[in-house]
Structures are given as structure tokens and as C-alpha cells.
Amino acid sequence: MRTRQIILAACCAALTLAAAAEAQERPPSHEDEPSTIGVVIGVKTGLLVTTPRQIFPSVRIGDSFKGTAPLSSSYGTLGSGYRYGLDFIFPFNERIGMAVELGVQTAAVRWNPVTGSGHDDPAMRLELQTMQAAISFQGNLYHNRAAFAGAGLRTVYLTGGFDLGIGSIANRVEGPAYADSTALSAAAVGSFENGEPFRRLVAFRGGAGARLGLGGHMELSLEAAYALALNPVFSSEVVHDNSFTFDNLALQVGLGYRF
């Protein structure tokens, strides 16, 4: 799993350097300007802010005497994460286009400690790392042809589509464990041993962004997108009647090469 992640990151890094080298090798000339509807290939990275939705199921960490008890989303608090990967944009014309993003997402979902019985249980935290594929359509609100010849704001766009979880890489759960029926809880850490409990998460993703020319073919992109999960994190075959899921807001920056 880690090897796949490193290969993807190395590809991203190599692509960034190759695009940069390409840009510097040829001095910009009128004939060498990028097309206003040219395909863009780039890399993208950014931070996530996550929020849990619905009830997190009771889990047992290790040899815990009992489960953590179902946890309402009212205990939920903002979590964090990040994602990075390759970014492809295929403009149909100067107004609309399609974007595809392939990458790795790490999301940490957090809950506040449950109070009661004279003590606080350790806070729950779920960390999930997944391979993601996002497919979306982009509509340009602003399109500045002149900026394609050099530096400056080229497009401002709205985007909407789907963010698909295509594979689980790693997971980690932090929360309370109980030695026996009378003992107080102690903080424990564990992991689901395999990807069996997890569904392939599907989220509707909508947002807005801008692309800035850096001179010639190189472009910088800035994007904010909200992903609204459409299905539960855990399969109904592993836990009864549970629809726990989480949404996220991604703030991303990218560097691309426009042909």
C-alpha cells in the first residue's frame, strides 16, 4: 500500500519537474502560447477540514471488555486531513470542461470526549487513508484570453461532480478501551485489519476555483470544494443499521502544464 502511495507521489514530483523544465527550455513566443482550450496536466495538493455525520458505531479496541458505545455526531468536532495527486483538465470549449483528479486522501474525523460518570472518556478519532478519483465538470465564470499569452488570472470557474473512494490504504482508530466492567476507560489505539468493513465512499463534490498563468504553459490553480458524502463509511454487512459518514471541505493548490 505504502509503495503505491510513494510511486504516485514520485510521479507527481517527476511531472512537476518535467513541466517546469519544459517551460524553461523554450522561451515563450507567440507561436508557443498555450491554447485557451488546451488540456492541462498537473499536480494538486491541499488541506481538508472534516465533519462527522450520523452515529459512529460502537467499536472494541483490542481486548476491551466492552465497546465504545455509539457516538452521536453532536459530539463531532472539526477534523483535518490532506489530499494530493494528479490533476487533468479537458476543456470542451472556453466555457466548460471536464476535470479528473487521481490521488490519495487522508482524513481524520474527530469527536469530543464523552463526559459523565465523574470522568471523561478519551476522545474518539478515526483516520482513513484512501485512493480517490474525482470526476467533475467545470464551468468558467470568467475567461481571460489575453492572460494565456503570459501571466495573470486566466479563468474563474465553478465545479461539480463526484469524488469516489477507489481503495482503502490505511486506517487508525483512537478511543477508549475498558479493562473490565468496573475499570475506567484508558486511551487505546487500533486498526481494522483489512478493508472489509469499508464501503467505497461516494461524495458529491462542488466548489469554485481560479487558474492563474505563470507565464507560458505553466498554471497555478486555487480551488475550494465541499464533498458531501452520499453513502455510509461502513458496510451494512459488518454493522447493523449504521449510516455514519463524514463530509469534507478541501482547500487545494495545484501546478499544471497547459498544452
Partner 1 sequence: MVKRTLFRAIPLSAVFLLLAFTGCVEESSTIVTFDETLLSTTFDNKLLAPVAIYRDNAVLDTLPARTSRTYPINRKGPVRHAWMPIAPYDQFGNKAGVEPRTDLGVQYRLSASYTLDNGSVKDASGTSRTIFTPLVANYGFRDVRLIVNYQTNDQVITNYLIPRDASVQLTQAPYFYWNSESNVRLEEVSGFNYYMFTRKDTLPGRSLELNSNYQYEGSGRTKALVVQ
Strand partners, 86: 43, 102
- CA angle (214, 219, 221) in 5-degree steps: 120
Span interacting with partner 1, options 65-73, 87-95, 137-145, 204-212, rule CB under 8 A: 65-73
Q: What character string, x for contact with partner 1 (CB under 8 A) and - otherwise, covers 165-184?
A: ----xxxxx-----------
Provide Rg for the chain, Cα atoms. 22
- CA angle (125, 81, 42) in 5-degree steps: 155
**Residue 139 C-alpha from the chain's centroid:** 21
Span interacting with partner 1, options 32-40, 59-67, 89-97, 140-148, rule CB under 8 A: 59-67
Span interacting with partner 1, options 17-25, 91-99, 142-150, 202-210, rule CB under 8 A: 17-25
Of the candidates 34, 40, 52, 59, which one interacts with partner 1 according to CB under 8 A?
A: 59
Q: Going by C-beta distance under 8 Å and a sequence separation of 6 or more, which residues neighbour residue 91?
A: 36, 37, 38, 39, 40, 97
Of the candidates 106, 144, 231, 243, which one interacts with partner 1 according to CB under 8 A?
A: 106
| DSSP letter, residue 56 | B
Contacting residues toward partner 1, per CB under 8 A: 2, 5-6, 8-10, 12-14, 16-17, 19-21, 23-24, 27, 43, 45, 57-63, 66-69, 82, 84, 104, 106, 127-129, 169-173, 188-194, 196-197, 214, 218, 234-235, 237-240, 255
